[in-house]
Amino acid sequence: MQIDVFTLVPHSFAWLTEQRPLATVLGTEIDLRLFGYRDTSPLASGQVDDSPYGGGPGMVLRVDVVAAALDAVYGGAPDHRVIALTPQGRQLDQAVVEELAAEERLTLLSARFEGFDERILTHLCSDAISIGPYVLSGGELPAMVLVDAIARLQPSALAEGSSAHETFSTEFDGGLEYPQYTRPPEFRGWGVPEVLLSGDHGRIDEWRREQSRERTAR
């Protein structure tokens, strides 16, 4: 799968690309390309934004700048999904992540400051995605959230089967995972449920299913 991210701060992705599981699948299952709007801006001095028509605070990412960036990489409008990261978009959840992970190519557009000129959303994008009902300062973290969530679904990203046993997976009917514990068995008087130390895998499975159902129903 190829994921292209357009951003004002390509270097902000350096940390993410060193982290597992993304680092594990980069270059094999995921080809991640980062593009800076300034590098292809048709405006003097790499200008990318401008003040809003009608007045008001902040700067707006220009449509001609984004169009030039897409033209430079794809030679025109790409024939795959182009997703704007915006708090006004369709809210991301695991089902949306799975839908997007099934694509062969994705383009993610991030903005900063006051966001996108509306014509970017209406004419250059196929989708608009929000990572939640709150406003961040830029689309880089939302793009990283999406890239990481997609990376986890790649076949060699995680230990075999572990993504199939997580919160929101079909294993839990889309619900929440059971609570997890590890050593020590007691710390400051805080114990571990006896069933998990019993070695009885039938009882453990039943307890976990019950815990998952209870948490999901809360």
Ligand X SMILES: C[S@@+](CC[C@H](N)C(=O)[O-])C[C@H]1O[C@@H](n2cnc3c(N)ncnc32)[C@H](O)[C@@H]1O
Residues near ligand X (CB under 6 A) are: 85-88, 110-112, 114-116, 130-132, 134-139, 142
| Cβ closest to ligand X, residue 28 vs residue 88 | 88
Give the nearest distance from C-beta 148 to ligand X in angstroms: 14
- Closer CB to ligand X, residue 41 or residue 130? 130
User: What are the backbone dihedrals phi and psi of residue 3, each rounded to the nearest 5 degrees, phi first?
Assistant: -120, 120
Q: Which is nearer to ligand X, 23 or 95 (CB)?
A: 95
Residue of minimal CB distance from ligand X? Answer: 139
Phi, psi for residue 32 in degrees, rounded to 5? -100, 125
Nearer to ligand X, 28 or 126 (CB): 126
Closest separation in Å from C-beta 139 to ligand X: 3
Q: Which two tokens stand for residue 14?
A: 């350096």
Residue 97 neighbours by CB under 8 Å, 6+ apart: 146, 149, 150, 153
Contacts of 74 (CB under 8 A, 6+ apart): none
Q: Tell me, what amino acid is at 65?
A: V
* Terminal alpha carbon distance of the chain: 37
Q: C-beta of 186: minimal distance to ligand X in Å?
A: 41
Closest contact distance (angstroms) between CB of 135 and ligand X is 5
